[in-house]
Each structure stands twice: as C-alpha cells, then as structure tokens.
Amino acid sequence: MKLRLRIRLRLLMAWAAGLATVALGALGVVCFGVFDTTASTPHPPLIAWATHVTMQNAVRRNARRMPPPPRFTPADAQRGFRLYEANCVMCHGGPGIARAAWVSGMTPAPPYLLDAARRWSPNELYWIVRQGVRMTAMPAWDQTLSVKDDWDLVAFLEQLQRLTPADYARLKAAAQPEPGAAQKPSPP
C-alpha cells in the first residue's frame, strides 16, 4: 500500500516536471522570439497542418449553426462576379487567371478557388467571406460588404467551378459597371 502510494507520487511528480518543461519552453519561445515569423518561408508541416485543419473544423462548426442558405438566382451570381472582380481576383485568381504577383509573398498562400464550392458548402463559404480567417491575409468582409453582397459572392463561387477561361472572359466583357454605385459597396 505504501509502495503504491510512493509510485503514484513519483508519477505525479514526473507529470508535473514534464508540464513545467513544456510551459518553460513555450515561455522561452515567446520571450526570445524563437519562432520564424517571416512570410518568405512556408509554415513547417506540423504548423501548416494544425492551423489549416483547425480553421476547416472551426468553419464547419460555425456554418452548421447557420440557417439554410438563400436560393441563388443567375442575377445574384452575376452581381457576385462583379464583386469578385473588384475584391477577390487579385488574391485568388480565376480560371487561367493568375493572382497578383505580390500575393506569392503571403503565408499562408491564398488559394485559387476553382474548386472552392466542392470543398465547402454555401454556408461555409459565406462564413469565411463574412468573418475572414485569422492569422491569414483573408479579411472579414463584414465591414465593407453587405450581407447580400457576401451571399452573391457565394452564388458566384458556386458557378466558378463550371467556368472555363473563355466563359470568365465573356462574363468580364458582359459586366458593364452598375449605374451609379458600382464600386461603392452597400452598407452592411
């Protein structure tokens, strides 16, 4: 009985020592800046995996609590295309369309979205657009675009997976600037 107690105590002490070492190590990383904060080098694989999977699961969890998405009309997608051209294409590119050159300097790298609608549900896409993604360069568009704008962007992303480079060019040619408030987003 006494021996067992002694073993238990030792185990507890070993755990405490281990925890203290981890805590000290973490504090050391913070105090001495022993962490690569440059954007010129990609994340180490473990950090890339942990941050990305955490983001995916957080988005899925939040999107599940949303009411079902609105039904999209072709006009919504067309408005979404204009918004995409004005706000998104420089970082996310399009079919046959590269991102702006300086975007290669971002870590994590903003992805092309040709298959975004296969990876994410409409609610999930809306959540990402509306709320942004922390610790990436993805802004929350809740301040600068309206709720309707953000849903229209999702409506366009649903179409994007079916657009060839030629389709995209046709859309671009057809998108005349909206009379009046083309560049001015409506208030949220």
Partner 1 sequence: MNLHRLILLAAGLGVLAACAESSRSSGDLGGGDPERGAVIIVREACGACHQIPGIQAADGQVGPPLGGVGRRTIIAGMLANTPQNMAYWVRRPQAVVPGNAMPDVGLSEAQARDVAAYLETLR
Using CB under 8 A as the criterion, which residues of the chain lie in contact with partner 1 when the complex forms? 41-43, 45, 48-49, 52, 93-99, 101, 104-105, 107, 109-115, 118, 164-166
Is residue 96 within 8 Å of residue 165, measured between CB atoms?
yes
Task: Closer to partner 1 by CB, 97 or 140: give it.
Answer: 97
Q: Which residues contact 69 (CB under 8 A, 6 or more apart)?
A: 121, 122, 123, 126, 151, 154
Minimum CB separation of residue 101 from partner 1 in Å reads 5
In the complex, least distance from residue 160 CB atom to partner 1, rounded to whole angstroms: 11
* Smallest distance from partner 1 to CB 23, Å: 28
CB nearer partner 1, residue 18 or residue 111: 111
Cβ closest to partner 1, residue 146 vs residue 172: 172
Listed in sequence order, the DSSP H helices in 34-176 are: 45-64, 74-87, 89-92, 116-119, 122-131, 147-160, 165-174
Report the residue number, 15 or 49, with the smaller CB distance to partner 1: 49
Whole-number minimum distance, CB 129 to partner 1, in Å?
17
Nearer to partner 1, 155 or 160 (CB): 160
Shortest Å, Cβ 8 to partner 1: 42
Write the DSSP string, 88-119: THHHH-BTTBPPPGGGGG-SSPPPP-TTHHHH
Amino acid of residue 124: E
